[in-house]
Amino acid sequence: MRRRDLLALALAPAPPPIRVGFLGEEHSHFSGKLKVIKDSPAYQLVGVTGHDDPALLKDPSVQLIVVECPIDIAIAQGRKVIAAGKHLHLEKPPGDKLPPFRDLVEQARQKNLRLQTGYVWRWHAGINAALDAARRGWLGDVFMVRATMNADRSPAQRLAEARFPGGGMFELGGHMVDRVIDLLGRPKSVKPFLRHHSKFADKLADNTVAVLEFDRALAVLTVSDRMAGSGAHRSFEVLGEDGSFVIHPERNPPTMSVHLRKAAGPYRAGWQDVTLPPQPRFVGDFAEMARSLQTNTPLTPTYDHEILLQETLLRASGELL
């Protein structure tokens, strides 16, 4: 780029902030996402309303709506947003059925509106480093992905999750599925194991495993709802014939261990431990949304990725055969 072009770029005015509103505030991610929006110069918060309040939907200046309502009405609220001609950030998991979500995505696609779901490992630097290494061939043939996202749920949280047959896997499994299909694509088969093994007198599937089969690899995903210290234990592993990554995304600080047969990129041969900088949730999601809207280019991930993610999550949760 020539010097005068660089100068013109530097002097170009910053794009106006994206006007955003929140529809509902019941989801556990609400407060964190509200803070990210308030702290970001790319956004201007218009307001927060209940999911029955149409004010934000009727405001022509609002460009993006973040839906933070309960799972069982998420798709209906998303439809209102798309029908109003606004871009949509929809909390996870987006309902417990595939056809309504697929229809919502197709409506957004037809109107060229952005649709983004709220899975928290999508922009994690450690997991992205592992996927990048695999795509570059540094790990050789990847034969296994293993991921664990356990929790320690209160009685009230257990009752909320027990409404869905998939239990803990339905609630948390999508975070892992998101990254697995990003790397390996559509699984040939998905086999869920959804068990109630705790002493709580409820029907929550609180000890769950899903095995995803691919042509030359397996992914094993686990969610248990009664584990002390579960946050630091959460992990994502990419195992290949020539190298492996083992990431603990939610430790403080996040860590990853890497082993390569031969040095590649920034990594030496053998085992090495890497301490990552803080990985605040939700920042990457809204940075990507702002990039997409300001440049008028598609979101990453794509519409098709979002549909496949929901389909695979529902298979892993026993909701879809």
Give the whole-angstrom CA distance, residue 238 versus residue 145.
5
Tell me how far the alpha carbon of residue 225 is from its chain's centroid. 19
> How much is the pLDDT for 9?
47
Confidence class of residue 4 from pLDDT cuts 50, 70 and 90? low
Residue 308 has pLDDT above 90, yes or no: yes
Q: Is the pLDDT of residue 309 over 80?
A: yes
Cβ pair 226, 152 in contact under 8 A: yes
> Residue 265, Cβ neighbours under 10 Å: how many?
11
| Residue spans in the chain of domains classed CATH 3.40.50.720 | 11-117
Is pLDDT of 249 > 60? yes
Residue 106: phi, psi to the nearest 5?
-65, -35
CA triple 184-185-189, angle to 5 deg:
95
pLDDT tens column, 116-155 = 999 999 999 999 999 999 999 999 999 999 999 999 999 9
Q: If pLDDT is split at 50, 70 and 90, which confidence band does 115 have?
A: very high
- Cβ neighbours for 59, distance < 8 A, ≥ 6 positions apart: 21, 46
Torsion of CA 264, 216, 255, 157, to 10 degrees: 160
What is the percent of the chain with per-residue pLDDT over 90, rounded to a whole number? 95
Please report the pLDDT score of residue 5 as a whole number: 52
pLDDT of residue 257 exceeding 90: yes
DSSP state of 234: -
Interval 149-176: pLDDT, tens: 999 999 999 999 999 999 999 999 999 9
Alpha-carbon span 126 to 256, nearest angstrom: 7
Q: What is the pLDDT of residue 13?
A: 77
**pTM of the complete model beyond 0.85:** yes
Q: pLDDT digits over 266-304, tens only?
A: 999 999 999 999 999 999 999 999 999 999 999 999 999
* pLDDT tens, position by position, 59-76: 999 999 999 999 999 999
One-letter identity of residue 34: L
Query: What fold, for 11-117?
Result: Rossmann fold (3.40.50)
pLDDT at position 264 is: 98
Residue 321 and residue 300: Cα distance in Å, rounded? 28
| Alpha-helix residue ranges (DSSP H) falling in the chain | 3-11, 30-39, 55-58, 74-83, 98-110, 125-135, 155-161, 167-184, 230-233, 283-295, 303-316
Q: How far is CA 287 from CA 22, 103, 259, 282, in A?
A: 17, 26, 31, 9
User: Residue 177: pLDDT band by 50, 70, 90 thresholds?
Assistant: very high
- Tokens coding 63: 């460009």
Peptide bond into 93 cis (omega under 30): yes
CATH 3.30.360.10 fits 125-281, yes or no: yes
CA gap 20, 240 in Å, rounded? 42
How much is the average pLDDT of 41-55?
95
Compute the average pLDDT of residues 244-270.
98
Pinpoint the residues of the chain covered by CATH 3.30.360.10: 125-281
241 has pLDDT over 80: yes
Determine the number of helices (DSSP H) and then strands (DSSP E) in the chain.
Answer: 11, 13
